[in-house]
């Protein structure tokens, strides 16, 4: 396996107040990004499901970088999401292969109690295109306070022959959530849903 | 010195590992830290801009320390620096100058334990989601060509019309594979901030 990482970017977005009403605890969101050379260019691949090494390596690198930059332990993470932008010489499926095969394994090994699916967005685009990485609760998809997203953008990435892979994490709910639904503390089933 | 009302703090940390076909001997680490603050002077002309300058004095040290912490390096390892502002559309260009120019530099240098060169800056009035290129140059000699650089940042929801984005940026080295000549960082005299 050859995986060339040109650059890594970590973006931290810490919201301390909303419309000048201070939050008791700041909402901290983090996107950890790797810009890698597309390992699948010029190859005809009918099934990516065996290519687990790329995803496993990226999942671990991105999570380690995020936790280091946030300077928190894994238990502080409440929600997550992932995304990929494939540069325009590749196809969307190349980026999808990096975030759907093997990627979740190191994340679920490190972050405990991750019962829910990791939500994702993916596309093919030129450098500097933004992507909205969806976020929801790691415990149960239906926790309504934690439905969120983080807009991510890296000025020079991805080049046409690259893939930009993103892991987004958040330490809490939206600021002042008040649209009802299942609450974080009321999750009972631990089936990933409710 | 006065602490402003900070709505949010954003950190942009880039690690460049590979360039032009080869792995860099030393990864280039660039970091920008920005705060989004309320502009107390938005919407009206004020002759006196001291309130913003007091915020600048606070933010110079606060943002620099935050950047050093997030880069996980010693202050002495930082080789280049820069600062920049985006004023929301209900403010004026001079608000950025009041924040950046009289007060922000001294506490930045103090937190870095040095820095003889001028701190390069950029400022503009713009809507939320505008990009900001924070210029960078060598902290001790502004004629070192290898360290002329920038880091581009963007906060999707800031600045709102009555807000200001204030950013500082640092790097632990010059551009990857810099080769346009001029004075080398290893040759500077470190006296006058120029060479």
Rounded Cα distance, A179 and A185, in Å: 16
Closest residue in chain B to residue A71, using alpha carbons only = B70
Residue B48 has pLDDT above 90, yes or no: yes
User: Nearest C-alpha of chain B: how many angstroms from A189?
Assistant: 35
Give the pLDDT of residue B186. Answer: 87
For A56-161, list the strands marked E by DSSP. 79-86, 120-124, 131-137, 148-152
Q: With CB atoms and an 8 Å threshold, state whether A9 touches B154.
A: no
Asked if A16's CB is within 8 angstroms of B70's CB, the reply is no
Other C-beta atoms closer than 10 Å to the C-beta of A28 total 20
Residues in chain B with CB shorter than 8 Å from the CB of A130 are 156
pTM of the model: 0.94
- B189 has pLDDT over 90: no
Instruction: Point out the residue among B5, B12, B14 whose CB comes nearest to the CB of A7.
Output: B14
Q: Given a cut of 90, is residue A8 above it in pLDDT?
A: yes
Among chain B residues, the shortest Cα distance to A23 is held by B7
Q: If pLDDT is split at 50, 70 and 90, which confidence band does A61 have?
A: very high
pLDDT tens per residue across span B116-138: 999 999 999 999 999 999 999 99
Whether the Cβ atoms of residue B128 and residue B56 lie closer than 8 Å to each other: no
How is residue B172 annotated by DSSP?
S
Quick one: pLDDT band at residue A30, thresholds 50, 70, 90? very high
Chain B interface with A: residues with Cβ < 8 Å:
5-19, 38, 69-70, 72, 131, 152, 154-156
CA angle A177, A27, A166 (to 5 degrees): 110
pLDDT of residue B131: 97
Tokens 């332990």 belong to A73
Query: What is the predicted pLDDT for the residue at A139?
Result: 96
The predicted pLDDT at position A130 comes to 97
Q: How confident is the model at residue B176 (pLDDT cuts 50, 70, 90)?
A: very high
């Amino acid at each position: 396996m050859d995986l060339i990482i040109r650059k890594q970017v970590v973006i931290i977005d810490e919201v301390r107040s909303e419309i000048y009403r201070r939050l008791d605890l700041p909402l901290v969101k983090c996107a950890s990004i790797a810009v890698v050379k597309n390992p699948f260019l010029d190859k005809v691949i009918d099934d990516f499901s065996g290519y687990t090494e790329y995803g496993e390596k990226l999942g671990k690198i991105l999570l380690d970088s995020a936790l280091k930059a946030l300077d928190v332990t894994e238990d502080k993470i409440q929600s997550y999401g992932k995304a990929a932008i494939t540069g325009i010489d590749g196809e969307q499926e190349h980026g999808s292969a990096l975030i759907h095969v093997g990627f979740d394994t190191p994340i679920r090994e490190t972050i405990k109690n991750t019962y829910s699916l990791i939500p994702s967005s993916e596309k093919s685009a030129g450098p500097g295109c933004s992507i909205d990485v969806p976020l929801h609760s790691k415990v149960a998809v239906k926790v309504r306070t934690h439905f969120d997203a983080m807009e991510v953008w890296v000025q020079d990435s991805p080049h046409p022959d690259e893939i930009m892979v993103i892991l987004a994490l958040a330490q809490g709910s939206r600021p002042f959530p008040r649209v009802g639904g299942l609450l974080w503390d009321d999750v009972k089933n631990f089936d990933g849903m409710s | 010195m006065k602490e402003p009302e900070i709505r949010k703090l954003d950190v942009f940390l880039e690690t460049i590992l590979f360039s032009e076909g080869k792995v860099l001997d030393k990864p280039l680490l660039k970091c920008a830290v920005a705060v989004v603050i309320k502009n107390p002077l938005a919407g009206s002309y004020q002759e006196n801009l001291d309130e913003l300058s007091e915020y600048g004095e606070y933010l110079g040290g606060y943002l620099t320390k935050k950047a050093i912490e997030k880069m996980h390096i010693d202050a002495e390892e930082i080789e280049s620096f820069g600062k920049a502002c985006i004023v929301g559309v209900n403010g004026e260009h001079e608000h950025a100058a009041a924040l950046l120019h009289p007060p922000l530099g001294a506490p930045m240098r103090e937190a870095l334990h040095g820095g003889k060169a001028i701190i390069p800056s950029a400022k503009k009035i713009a809507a939320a989601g505008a990009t900001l290129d924070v210029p960078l140059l060598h902290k001790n000699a502004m004629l070192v060509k290898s360290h002329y650089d920038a880091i581009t940042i963007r906060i999707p929801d800031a600045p709102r019309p009555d807000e200001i984005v204030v950013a500082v940026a640092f790097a632990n080295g010059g551009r990857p594979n810099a080769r346009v000549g001029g004075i080398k960082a290893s040759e500077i005299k470190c006296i006058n901030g120029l060479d």
